[in-house]
């Protein structure tokens, strides 16, 4: 939950701490859980920021951009892999989509949030024939299942 949505401003930190400590304890116990292959935790966001700030002084800040790192945990997850291609983080570099004389570092991800979400939704039981109804842009990508689960 965003901090602004909580009356108790320490609640999000406590929630994250509880999730992390529970996940650590479960994995360190060495005892497989009967439900470990039926539970998956994940992050999901396509929000990013430009590398180069806009403005100057107190008005400086980074603009909206695309892309983010996502994390997936669970017994069915095919771990220890990176999906997608990490961009070259150079202003005006080969992956910077901001052209012109003052590029700001805006990269389009190699893997879409739709592909990521469609992979999870299929694991949750959504049929592949229903993917276009749930993810209208999925047809723009060559692969709707990234194979991480």
Work out the number of other CB atoms within 10 angstroms of the CB of residue 93.
13
**CA dist., res. 144 & res. 125, Å (int):** 14
* Higher per-residue pLDDT: 37 or 8: 37
Give the pLDDT of residue 33.
65
Tens digit of each residue's pLDDT (9 = 90 or more) over 87-133: 888 888 888 888 778 888 888 888 888 999 999 999 999 999 999 99
Tens digit of each residue's pLDDT (9 = 90 or more) over 64-89: 777 777 888 888 998 888 888 888 88
Average pLDDT (25-50) is: 74
CA nearest neighbour of 102 among 49, 53, 60, 67: 53
CB under 8 Å to 69, separation ≥6 — which residues? 43
**CA dist., res. 1 & res. 30, Å (int):** 31
Output the six-digit token pair for 64: 């909206």
């Amino acid at each position: 939950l965003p901090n602004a949505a909580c009356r108790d401003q320490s609640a999000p930190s406590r929630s994250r701490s509880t999730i992390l400590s529970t996940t650590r304890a479960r994995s360190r116990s060495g005892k497989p859980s009967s439900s470990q292959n039926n539970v998956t935790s994940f992050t999901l966001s396509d929000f990013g920021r430009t590398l180069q700030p806009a403005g100057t002084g107190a008005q400086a800040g980074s603009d909206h951009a695309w892309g983010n790192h996502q994390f997936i945990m669970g017994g069915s997850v095919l771990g220890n892999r990176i999906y997608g291609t990490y961009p070259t983080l150079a202003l005006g570099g080969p992956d910077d989509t901001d052209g012109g004389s003052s590029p700001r570092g805006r990269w389009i991800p190699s893997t879409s949030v739709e592909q990521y979400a469609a992979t999870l939704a299929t694991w949750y039981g959504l049929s592949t024939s229903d993917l276009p109804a749930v993810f209208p842009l999925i047809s723009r990508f060559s692969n709707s299942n990234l194979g991480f689960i």
